[in-house]
Each structure stands twice: as C-alpha cells, then as structure tokens.
C-alpha cells in the first residue's frame, strides 16, 4: 500500500524525488536533489480476530513521510518552518482523505516533528494513519 503513496506523491507537492524506505537507507548525508521525500512504515496495530475458523482483523497502520530540504535560506531554520508548512499543506492535499486501493479507511494526518536540522538542511517527519484488513 505504501508504494501507492510513493506513486501518488511522485512529481507532486513540489518534491524532486519520492522514494520508499530502501531509498532512505541509502542516504549517507544531506541529499543533493531536494526537496525530497521518503515514505516508510512507522508502526501497525492489529485488532482482534472477529471470526471463527478464519481471520478477519483490522490493522491500523501509521506511516511517515520524511521531507528533506536544503537551502531554506537561514542556518537557524526560521525560514525553513515556513517552507515545511507549505510542504505539509501540499502533501496533505494529496494524501488526506484519499483511500488507497486495498485500504479500509482513508488517510488521516497525525502531525509532524523535526527530526534533524544540520546547517541548511531540515529533516521533517509527517505522520499519517489509515487501516486495512487481513482476511483469510
């Protein structure tokens, strides 16, 4: 399901690149091609099974969209906060309320937090939630 989110954000929200967790694992320093985003799972919680002799469980998944941007214009990050707010609104416009194929619920925005601020590079994590079902 997260691959659908990567595809939906690709070329949108003024992001130069959007990748999954493998792309993030390859980052060894501030990316050159910014602003960029990485989509990856943060957690999931399965509810109880509701059937006998089969499986019917709802799984609430939380995923992150890590946005990295450089050149926000100041070393203290004041202008970066404005840029992050714009990126948040652009990403939310693409994701919030959208229901990926195979999902039981549409995507909700949970909030965001600063991950790192080094020199002129800001790493900001936006968190989202939706649910899907396990059937068998």
Asked if 83 and 112 touch (Cβ cutoff 8 Å), the reply is: no
- Which one is predicted more confidently, 42 or 72? 42
Give, in order, the Cα–Cα distances in Å from 20 to each of 1, 6, 51, 124, 127.
11, 7, 34, 15, 15
pTM score, whole prediction: 0.89
Contact 102, 132 (CB under 8 A): yes
Domains of the chain: 2-135 (3.30.2000.10)
49-66 pLDDT tens trace: 988 889 999 999 999 999
79-120 per-position pLDDT tens digit = 778 889 999 999 999 999 999 999 999 999 999 999 988 778
């Amino acid at each position: 399901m997260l691959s659908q989110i990567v595809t939906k954000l690709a070329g949108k929200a003024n992001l130069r690149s959007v990748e999954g967790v493998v792309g993030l694992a390859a980052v060894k320093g501030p990316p050159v091609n910014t602003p960029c985003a990485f989509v990856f799972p943060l957690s999931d919680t399965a509810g109880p099974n509701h059937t006998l002799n089969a499986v019917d469980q709802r799984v609430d998944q939380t995923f992150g969209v890590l946005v990295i941007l450089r050149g926000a214009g100041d070393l203290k990050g004041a202008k970066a906060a404005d840029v992050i707010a714009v990126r948040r609104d652009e990403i939310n416009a693409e994701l919030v309320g959208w229901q990926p194929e195979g999902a039981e619920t549409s995507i909700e925005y949970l909030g965001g937090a600063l991950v790192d601020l080094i020199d002129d590079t800001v790493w900001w994590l936006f968190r989202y939630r939706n649910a899907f079902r396990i059937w068998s």
